[in-house]
Structure 1
Amino acid sequence: MGYSFLDLAKEVLEHENIPLSVEELWEAAGRYGLLEKLSSSGKTPIRTLSARIYVDLKNNQDTIFEQVSKRPVKFFLKGQTAGLQEYEDRQERAGKKLKFAERDLHILLSSFVNSDEHFKCSTKTIYHEVSKREKSGKNKWLHPDLVGVHFPFESYTPNTLKLFDILKVNPYKLYSFEMKININLANLREYYFQAVSNSSWAHEGYLVALHITENPELMDEMRRLNNAFGIGVIRLDAEHFMQSEILFSAKEKESLDWDTINRLVDSNPDFKKFLEDLMEDIKVGKIKSKYDETYTEEEQMCQYALKCGILS
């Protein structure tokens, strides 16, 4: 057999030692002078290369390739963990140079959880900098980035809600969200346990990020942590916010951590105002308090994301 498209992909990935898209594979193959080695290139050789890799991934149990990301789609060689870690480190360093900040992502999350059927919740940003000054380390990982509440006003009649109250059944749900820009193997455990720490007070806690590396080892570790500690994971989609994904659902707590709630109320005026607002809204039976702004149209969100530099 002659030199195949899969041979080309393997040789390029061994040379580059980082995940590459099909276009990047083809460009690198040109630099290394490998295109001339192909026995046949066809009219659309890049598409042929893409098709051969996908077919090999699907049908060959012993494939040497793996897909490590979706946006954009990138491929790598199985077992090349050092190269993959280097790539993830580069992505993390690049993330630190982004024009936008974590808080620019809040409206993206707020819009998603406000419209998603699982949540249907209103959120409020918690500004850490307005908290009481304490001894160094005392309030570390105490505050979530956003908090949320699900009001069941649209799901039940006023009489049903009154019955819930009489029977001591709680139809309301509190959420805690820890926001990050990038999650990879290098930072996962730190970020995850930060979410564990500042979500103990809520019914459900989530770690949220815009970029989560498509790495089987990372997904396996997330699954293990989710099974052990119950914090869910959400991946945001800035271009189509309604297509943001709950990669792992949080385990719902039946009881709340009242000591932490009391500490948050005492420490942070934003959290205190959040509880005051939700109690007032429960009392009147409708949402009248001011929560974080949300978008309902993807075009609005795209314009915002482009303006902030989240999309380019």
Structure 2
Amino acid sequence: MEWRNETRVSDFLLMKVTEDPELRSLLFSLFLLMYLVTVLGNLLIILAVSSDSHLHTPMYFFLSNLSINDICLSTTTIPKMLVNIHTQNQSIPYAGCLTQIYFVLVFASLESCLLAAMAYDRYVAICHPLRYTVIMNSRLCGLLILLPLLIIIVDALLHSLMVLQLTFCTDLQIPLFFCEVVQVIKLACSDALINNILIYVATSVFGGIPVCGIIFSYVQIVSSVLRMPSVGGKYKAFSTCGSHLSVVSLFYGTGLGVYISSALTNSSRKTAVVSMMYTVVPQMMNPFIYSLRNRDMKGALKKLIKTSLL
């Protein structure tokens, strides 16, 4: 039997971004800019929705919650990476790593559920327009966010507590730029079967169910739109879904890229870069997608900027 040295964990080591000083400065500036754009862009969306009474509808209610979630998800990973790049110190405390695992699970899972709720909102708006205000009442909208959030919080807490039960080896190098539960579990010397089962269950629930909900909603939407006699009506119906479809494609597309990258390449650095993009790019691009493709949002943003400059 092969024995491996076990250790009492005090710190994990995250992957070093680069050894090149010039490239390190460039990457620091790039990720700092991306983080600032993410925070400012999503804050503008939140302020525009809250300040314009015309946008106090279920669709924009979900959008503002998506923006809050995007800010939180980016803040969970990028600032620590920026500190590590600046100080050239890749360590992260054990407690800090567990905290990062918890919040990444919460905000990534909630992002998926919010996208599913937004798909359901578009389904009701297009397929049941006369009953839209009755179905999408404030109680249901709150329930579509709070119920998944409560389940996600319990699930993330369970994952974090299960990681606490693991014993780790002397090799504490995480092959990512942030703590991710799957990669941390791989470093364990003790049996992690229950941890892996929990991950598969959580992925099925918070990944599979929202995806199925989104697919179902858009199948119904396409079926309803194709029955419309007016070409203008078809275009208007599809245009209301364009921004959401773009956001869904970006989020799940980068997520699929992480899976394919980890399956097809042995390069941990390539997988780390793709994983970082999954938690940075969609959150940065969402405000641009909604502000550029949505006439009401563009109007609200122009009004907000004009008011702030006066």
TM-score category of the 2 structures, normalised to the smaller one? under 0.3
TM-score with structure 1 setting the length:
0.25
Higher share of residues assigned helix: 2
Higher share of residues assigned strand: 1
TM-score with structure 2 setting the length:
0.25
Bigger radius of gyration among the two: 1
